[in-house]
Amino acid sequence: MLRLSKFADYGTQVMAYMAKDGAVHSASEVSTGLGIAAPTVSKILKMLVRENLVASSLGAKGGYMLARHPSEISIAEIINAMDGPISITECSGTTTSCERESTCSTRSNWQGINHIIHDALNKVNLAQMIAPMPQVVDVSRIRSRGAFV
């Protein structure tokens, strides 16, 4: 199963929260707004600052803000900031420590798949993540005594 870490998920949520209004936010405000523990939000914000996705300012009116417009920040960048480079197998990333690398018959295919996933995540930006997405409902699965409610 391919699954992002909790930090990548929370990092995306923190960025989306901040992207909605472009204002300066305190870590405690983000924590309260998202219902994520304050120490976790603080750690995530520091990681995002280190990767230049979020800027911080000190002082009474200080806090955190996005370093760029939401349309200029890709989901791949957020995942990279939280988890490091995207790599679905040991050998599909840029560095590897797999002892089977020289004899592996599937390595190049995994690298190709990894590239496709990275490109797809790179094409989705933060502005798209905060835009409402219409939900498609399969009406054939709705059963309520033969009528729609």
Q: How many CA atoms lie within 13 A of 66 on its CB side?
A: 24
pLDDT (0 to 100) of residue 95: 63
Burial class (CB in 10 A: 0-12, 13-18, 19+), 11: buried
- Average pLDDT for the chain: 87
pLDDT, one tens digit per residue, over 16-32 is 999 999 899 999 999 99
Do 31 and 39 touch, CB atoms closer than 8 A? Answer: no
Do 53 and 67 touch, CB atoms closer than 8 A? Answer: yes
Distance spanning both ends of the chain, measured CA to CA: 36
Look at residues 77, 139, 138, 86 and name the one whose alpha carbon lies nearest to residue 113.
86
What's the pTM?
0.81
Look at residues 58, 63, 57 and name the one whose alpha carbon lies nearest to residue 21.
63
Q: What is the mean pLDDT of residues 126-148?
A: 74
Task: Give the bridge partners for 148, in sequence order.
Answer: none
pLDDT, one tens digit per residue, over 60-104 is 888 999 999 999 999 999 999 999 988 887 766 666 667 777 777
